[in-house]
Structure 1
Amino acid sequence: MTTAAILLVAGVVAGVIGTAGGITSLVAYPALLLVGIPPLAANVTNSVALLGSGASSALRARRDLVGHAPTLRRWLPVTVVGSALGAGLLLVTPSEVFDRIVPFLVAAGSVLLLVQPWIDRRRSAATMRPVAATASVSGVSLYNGYFGAGSGVLMIAVLLLNGEPVLHRANALKNVLLLAADVLPAVLFAVFGSVVWSAVWPLGVGAVIGGLIGPSVARRVPATALRIAIAACGLVLAGWLLVGP
């Protein structure tokens, strides 16, 4: 019951963070480690548990997607295939290798959170060349399927630099693209991965609740302070994973 309570609270906080523009995995993933789940199992469990939070974010994005069906048709196949490949790569990664990689992935997600305001301010009148745009979306999707923390920030950056001038539309497109991209990896992890199902339910339910109450909470918490605090915790966690047991 204590474990379930910790994960439920972590899920709520992660959902609120995601609503405020943060990275949900930087809260959810450490919580799974805290309750004793090994890094590789924690990663696949986290991916499955946060699927519901992604669905609620995508549903909230419908109003901002009017007239953007061509963009979705262009990038959905790329993100789905790329994330599936990333998930497959994760499943064949030995756990001891992933244990050595994960501190750097957590650190990368933390740094992305710190630089997110700069990314959000980026605008580009010119679009990327088609090959560069496809390579960028493919790379972000591959990373999303493999680990995922910070993939939303990266996807927004790619969309902004690919000619989408409005941040909230880029965020809405990101929500739908990553939801579609996360479904197949979640299925693969559920079938072939070491998902800890007893942790999925409290974390997932908490994330959905956090996503629902997030807008109200986010208006009362300074976004900059929240972002810095979470990123700092992520960097401390990365250091502990790197030098710890």
Structure 2
Amino acid sequence: MIWWHAVLIAIAGVWAGMINTVVGSGTLVTFPVLVALGYPPVTATTSNAIGLAPGSVSGAIGYRHELRGHGRVLLSFLPASVIGAVVGTILLLSLPPDAFETIVPVLIVLALVLVLVQPKVSAWVTRRRQRAGVDGADGGSMSAKGAVGLVAAIFLIGIYGGYFTAAQGVMLMAVMGILMTLPLQTLNGIKNVLSAAVNIVAGTIYAFVAPISWPVVALLAVGSVIGGQLGAKIGRKLPPRVLRAVIVVVGAAAAVQLVVQQL
């Protein structure tokens, strides 16, 4: 590996770690870099999944304070993310490379719309619960149908994350923000844990059955861990409106970039 390639990959890893922690679209930094440097798309995808997993864990640890008292919520969501990640890795290894990526821009645009309308929807849900006399002290309770719908959405996002990983954080923030009324920073912490689970599961499978560039993995791992901690410090200090704006900007950039890649 040429030295400047290594420097560029490491820098991309730091930036991806920061973005993944704050909102989730870090793959859209590292994936184009790896492809531009000559790595095959599948190798770039699988190496990303493994290399960025430590950064996802680092970012999740950075949000540990916001996650206190929400262990049961995480445990109820993790199986859906894990199983979805397994399905996504199977799709990547068995379907044509372009089969899933063609609908990714549509999914990201949908997620951005959900992020934009989330405050009004959450306020409406809160008013409805108050009129019904529902205790919303924990800020995250929902109906049985809402819980089933949320778990199903997390499962589908896990499939997507296991296949390509880019912008899964945007989608998680969108669906959780609409169906739950927890503070945005707490949702961001939950998003980081679920994204980390998807990356770990997918990366573990890829390590055994998919083409991997281990030097790339090592560089991304070191960079993303550093970026994950930086992102946690930045993200935790952002007010909800600013954090939501970051989500929309990064998500829109992701959609545009993926459309351009399809042309």
Q: Which TM bucket (shorter chain)?
A: 0.7 to 0.9
Of 182, 189, 192, which aligns to 1:172? 189
Number of aligned residue pairs: give it: 237
Amino acid in structure 2 at the alignment position of 1:102: E
Compute the TM-score of the two structures, normalised by the length of structure 2. 0.77
What residue is the counterpart of 2:158 in the other structure? 141
Query: How far apart are residue 158 of structure 1 and its match?
Result: 2.3
Deviations 1:166-216 (A, max 9, x none): 111111112122222322211100100111112111122122222233467
Whether the 8 Å CA contact 1:15–1:214 is kept in 2: the answer is yes
What residue is the counterpart of 1:200 in the other structure? 217
Residue 40 (structure 2) pairs with residue 38 (structure 1): yes
What residue is the counterpart of 1:67 in the other structure? 69
Amino acid in structure 2 at the alignment position of 1:8: A
Aligned mates of 1:173, 1:6 — CA distance in 2? 30
What residue is the counterpart of 1:76 in the other structure? 78
What residue is the counterpart of 2:199 in the other structure? 182
**SS state of the match for residue 47, structure 2?**
helix
Aligned mates of 1:159, 1:196 — CA distance in 2? 34
Aligned mates of 1:67, 1:215 — CA distance in 2? 19
Whether the 8 Å CA contact 2:18–2:232 is kept in 1: the answer is yes
Change in CA separation of 1:41 and 1:112 when aligned onto 2, cut-off 3 Å? farther
Amino acid in structure 1 at the alignment position of 2:227: G
- Structural mapping, 1:213-232, within 5 Å: 213-214=230-231, 228=249, 231-232=252-253
What residue is the counterpart of 2:101 in the other structure? 102
Change in CA separation of 1:184 and 1:20 when aligned onto 2, cut-off 3 Å? closer
> How much is the aligned-residue C-alpha RMSD, in angstroms?
2.9
Q: State the percentage of identical aligned residues.
A: 30
Whether the 8 Å CA contact 1:109–1:150 is kept in 2: the answer is no
- Structural mapping, 1:84-163, within 5 Å: 84-93=86-95, 97-99=96-98, 101-102=100-101, 104-105=103-104, 107-108=105-106, 111=109, 115=113, 118=116, 121=119, 123=122, 124-125=125-126, 127=142, 129=145, 130-163=147-180
Compute the TM-score of the two structures, normalised by the length of structure 1. 0.82
Unpaired segments ≥5 residues, structure 1: none
Change in CA separation of 1:137 and 1:207 when aligned onto 2, cut-off 3 Å? same
Aligned mates of 1:113, 1:14 — CA distance in 2? 20
